[in-house]
Structure 1
Amino acid sequence: MKSKFIKILAIVGGIVLLNVLASFVFFRLDLTEEKRYSISDATKTLLENLDKEILIKVYLDGDELPGGFERLKRAVNETLDEFQVYGGTNIEFRSINPNAENDTKKREDFYAQLMKKGMQPSRVIDNKNGRQVENIIFPYASVSYEGKEVPVQLLKGTEGRTAQEKLNQSYENVEYELANAIRKLTLKEKKKIGLLTEFTDLKPLNFADLITSLQERYDLFIIDAKLSPTFQGLDALILPKPTLPVDDSTKYKIDQYIMNGGRALFFVDGLKVDSVSLEGTFAQPLELNLTDLFFKYGVRINSNIVKDGASSAAIPMVVGNMGDRPNIQPIPYRYFPVINNFGKSLITNNLDLIFCKYVASIDTVQAPGVNKIPLLMTTPYTKVLNAPALVTYNEARTETNQEEYNDGVKTIAYLLEGKFESLYKNRLLPSDSQYKSFKAESVPTKMLVCSDGDLIVNDLSPKTGNPLPLGFDKTTQHIFGNKDFVMNAIDYMIDENGVIQARGKEVKLRPLDKLRTRDERTKWQIINIVLPLGVVILFGVILYMLRKRKFAY
């Protein structure tokens, strides 16, 4: 009896000791294949360094959410639980059901408050008990810090994908969207971005959405190249849709900025397209004095226009008359490719479609030490028009001849990484005043070259003259992923160990085999219901027999 008591006491003491030791040692183990319950090291660091409380309100809540939204809600709650592990008492979150209020007037007033903050509801039709029921869902959260609040869109997915695929993309993006909002609010020291606009004849209003988005996250400077002796000190430099030649002095400054580790983004057209008419106009070569610079860095923007016969935006065209009025219909315009073919990169992961206009193809050339990563690509069904290229609106009326669109996939944006060689290597003499500070080879750095200057240009409203959102298509009223592409690229290039790493999360869809579930339904019901019960019963019988034998006289 005494030995049994000592044994029980030892077991209890061991359990207590184990719990005491566990309070000093913290670890979490995620056994899922894609690490769906883990967050990135950058997010952990962001949360551990919080100095004040962050309040997160999640409006994706309710008793009867459709299945896909219920899964997204669980993903949000699981992610926020993980945030609390690393943020401690500085992370507080609440789940709010926008439909909880029974009073119709109060509920609609609450809807109006959320919409005023930029949260637009999704109307989802669901089948319940054989009836169609409309659900109003707000797939949003809000993040508050020191009196500032930003909305976070939780439902984001690529156009053209199924509802299940869009929800899965949203699932993958939850950590990044929430962490990015926290970073935006808690940022103490902003990176410096330079916008080199003096070589474009477009107005600041044409870059209004880009400028506003950059100012939210960074210190933005409009650069005057003539007054700036150097571009050093900037974390990134953007050259947006130049239409005028870049002078040699500025080109040298760009080269040396890159040689000293600067990050640069170039959005440069291959051809100059003036106002297009129904009959057409000829697109001419665009001389920007940048060809030799890009060539030295490993790419060449060709003097051509790529037409995409399989994926393009639409323009309104008169296709006939309806009574005494013209019948206007949206017709695919192959000079406006819609990009849905992305290279593998954190920049393009889970990115929405990209809306482009009059793009050129980019070729790569030899540049030792430079890794060239394609980011944006057309479909294989393309037709390339070399300069001078006739561009006409009437072309939209013609059918796509598949035999003509056989030029294959064309890349229109490259990410270049590595050590670059200066264009001016072996050109400067020791007597030159710039010789002492000159660098012939860069430290490891990055740049982005895109052959569509319009990708970062927002249109203006024809009624008010106010800027429209970047990537907004007036014909379909859809906002494409242009702005996300640019902001992701800047994040990746200047904050490579930042929360952009959270975009690498991938959660695989594992749908059931519909044919097998139909044909083998009974077998799997037996395996999942009868077999576990049989194992439990068998274990009980064996245990009973062993006890009977042990205590039999």
Structure 2
Amino acid sequence: MEPTTTTSAVPAPSRKRQDLLRFAAIIGALFVLNFVAQRFFFRLDLTEEKRYTMSPATKQLLTNLKQPVTVTVYLTGDFPPAFRRLEQAARETLTEMQVYGGGNLNYVFIDPSAAGTEAGRNQFYQTLLKKGLKPTNLGANENGKRIEKLIFPWAVVQAGGQTRNVLLLRGSQVAAPEERLNQSVEGLEYELASTIRQVAPPGGTKRRLGVITGHDELTNLQMADILTAWSQNYDVFRVDLNQVKDLRGNLDAVVVAKPQKPYSEVEKFRLDQFITHGGRAMFFVDALRVDLDSVSRNGAALATPYNLNLDDLLFRYGVRLNQNMLLDLNCGQIPLVTGMTGNKPKIEPLPWQLYPLINRFSANPITRNLDAVYLKFVGNIDTVKAVGVRKTQLMSTSRYTRMLPAPVPINFNDARLEPNPKLYKDSYQSVGYLLEGQFRSLFANRAEPGTTKYQPDQNPNAQPSKILVISDGDFLRNDVDPKSQRPMRLGYDRLSSTEFANRELILNATDYLLDETGLIAVRGKQITLRPLNKVQLAEKRQAWQALNLGAPLVLLALFGAVRAWSRKRRYARF
């Protein structure tokens, strides 16, 4: 008698019911997951630099928006991959910002070259130019070829009737194109967030900024551009130390802008008490006087030391402005008559080593990824011991620097001579410092000037503070149009038609000193550039192309074969 085999099979209706239940469970789980995701937002940023993570200061700014903000970006179009990276980074940053800004933040991308005709494109270009959006002809290397593209790397932020332009292509112009694009990507969050704060400021009282007067400082016209920029975020005042006995409680920061007359002991005491009690300060001070109005007929002048009565104050805080003058082969230009063309003099721009161009900066948020700045008749700064004070060198001259002690003869005709590089061996001289910490009063263990009131060594009401020191009084001085007498943008050099980053550095420093939200710290964001090996990429180009095209097809074929074998094995017993 043959043995019998019993096969247990699931009835067809029961199997169909199981499939339907499984399908319904999956759909239900998706609905629940979607419901939870709409109410509880979270993201995982697995990048090493946390490039997709907004800073707490940016999140707070966007969450507290009280009015709608619209960001219009003109950086889009048919770009090479190098430029598309910046466009994509701008999209990702704005998308992340929209998560926290909600319905109060909207953005749109517009292609300036989208018009169907050349006339239409030119007309739109002119519209953008009238808004102050200047195009950039940026180059990059793609597949061994040089590619240049006319782009408008700008965004326009609008809110409550106010409009601000945002330059998205930042970074140092001396850097390689790929590095400059990377620097621009690093600064996107700060540039957009700080501009949103300008057009839609958060509630609360503005910080108060006082510009010291009474010592032949720069006039309102000479500082018009930076005063206008400051007034967008701060309340700005002119302050006479002889009229205001106590700056504490009235101001949050003071600016010393190229004084040319000495401070009295009483004025210095009031300034010292303000700083040692937590007030912020920015010093733009020259160690030597260069009077260009007294230049002789042969183009000669003499730079002599100032007597501003501030040396001991700055020395107590940790720095010393040396009485010398720096010459740098990396420099600006001056116009000089080099001959005659008919009856008219021939004027040409010539290098002038006494106008250094600075492009060596620290990684501090004030100067990180900054373009070059322009200085005139500047000396170096040394640090001295100051307990409890942290000193950060912000910028320095180039490798080819020469230092001349005072008094320094200045002759503009020297620009006609070829400099000797062997004389330029005083490399990397400091011209800007940031001081942070608890500053000890210059008047500790002394009587208050004009009184017998004793000042203790350790003041119980002292507070930590921050000080910026730059050894160039003209650093925040803008040029004035000789015809219209209108102020020009700070940092703009008419001779070279170039705008340097003086304005940006000062605004960054002001935010660093006064912005308690910590938004300026976003400028310290760093994204590591990981370029491919272009030589190997060119050599193995066809192999990589074959792998990218063939690998998906092979995987798909393998998946189909395995699935067919699995189904055949599963249903073979039925």
For structure 2, the 5+ residue unaligned runs are 1-13
Q: 1:425, 1:440 within 8 Å by CA — same for their partners in 2?
A: no
Does 2:468 match 1:415?
Answer: no
Task: Tell me by how many angstroms 1:154 deviates.
Answer: 2.1
Q: Deviations over 1:48-103 (max 9, x none)?
A: 001121122222333x2344443322222221111110010111222223343446
Aligned to 1:530: 550
Q: How does 1:36-435 map to 2 (within 5 A)?
A: 36-62=51-77, 64-102=78-116, 108-122=122-136, 137-187=151-201, 188=203, 189-232=205-248, 233-275=250-292, 276=295, 278-309=298-329, 311-320=330-339, 326-428=345-447, 432-433=452-453
Alpha-carbon distance change, 496 to 427 in structure 1, aligned in 2, over 3 angstroms = same
Task: Tell me by how many angstroms 1:394 deviates.
Answer: 2.1
Task: Tell me by how many angstroms 1:256 deviates.
Answer: 0.6
Aligned residue among 496, 502, 514 for 1:476: 496
Q: 2:222, 2:480 within 8 Å by CA — same for their partners in 1?
A: yes
Within 1, Cα distance between the matches of 2:384 and 2:403?
19
Does 2:519 match 1:503?
Answer: no
Within 1, Cα distance between the matches of 2:191 and 2:540?
41
Q: 1:471, 1:480 within 8 Å by CA — same for their partners in 2?
A: yes
Alpha-carbon distance change, 207 to 437 in structure 1, aligned in 2, over 3 angstroms = farther
SS of 1:403 mapped into structure 2: helix
Q: Deviations over 1:373-415 (max 9, x none)?
A: 0001111221111111112212222223222111121110000
SS of 1:421 mapped into structure 2: coil
Q: 2:67, 2:200 within 8 Å by CA — same for their partners in 1?
A: no
What TM-score comes out, normalization by structure 1 length? 0.91
Within 1, Cα distance between the matches of 2:341 and 2:367?
43
For structure 1, the 5+ residue unaligned runs are none
User: Amino acid of the residue matched to residue 371 of structure 1?
Assistant: R
Q: 2:365, 2:523 within 8 Å by CA — same for their partners in 1?
A: yes
Task: Tell me by how many angstroms 1:250 deviates.
Answer: 1.1
Alpha-carbon distance change, 322 to 517 in structure 1, aligned in 2, over 3 angstroms = farther
Residues 102-111 or 112-121, more deviating: 102-111
Q: Deviations over 1:473-504 (max 9, x none)?
A: 12101110001000100001111433222212
User: Amino acid of the residue matched to residue 403 of structure 1?
Assistant: K
SS of 1:237 mapped into structure 2: strand
Q: Deviations over 1:290-343 (max 9, x none)?
A: 11111111111100001112x111122334456665543322111111000001
User: Amino acid of the residue matched to residue 284 of structure 2?
Assistant: F
User: Amino acid of the residue matched to residue 185 of structure 1?
Assistant: V
Residues 198-207 or 242-251, more deviating: 198-207
Task: Tell me by how many angstroms 1:231 deviates.
Answer: 1.1
Q: 2:359, 2:372 within 8 Å by CA — same for their partners in 1?
A: yes
Within 2, Cα distance between the matches of 1:93 and 1:53?
11
Q: Deviations over 1:127-157 (max 9, x none)?
A: 99xx999965432222221222222222233
Within 2, Cα distance between the matches of 1:344 and 1:501?
11
Within 1, Cα distance between the matches of 2:328 and 2:227?
30
Q: 1:381, 1:405 within 8 Å by CA — same for their partners in 2?
A: yes
Alpha-carbon distance change, 406 to 468 in structure 1, aligned in 2, over 3 angstroms = same
What TM-score comes out, normalization by structure 2 length? 0.88
Aligned residue among 31, 42, 45 for 1:30: 45
Within 1, Cα distance between the matches of 2:31 and 2:115?
47
Within 1, Cα distance between the matches of 2:344 and 2:455?
69
User: Amino acid of the residue matched to residue 72 of structure 2?
Assistant: K
SS of 1:166 mapped into structure 2: helix
Q: 1:268, 1:451 within 8 Å by CA — same for their partners in 2?
A: yes
Q: 1:259, 1:440 within 8 Å by CA — same for their partners in 2?
A: no
Task: Tell me by how many angstroms 1:259 deviates.
Answer: 1.3
SS of 1:205 mapped into structure 2: coil
Within 2, Cα distance between the matches of 1:133 and 1:508?
24
SS of 1:204 mapped into structure 2: coil
Q: 1:124, 1:134 within 8 Å by CA — same for their partners in 2?
A: yes
User: Amino acid of the residue matched to residue 257 of structure 1?
Assistant: F
Within 1, Cα distance between the matches of 2:540 and 2:124?
49
Within 2, Cα distance between the matches of 1:133 and 1:414?
40
Within 2, Cα distance between the matches of 1:306 and 1:201?
23
SS of 1:206 mapped into structure 2: coil
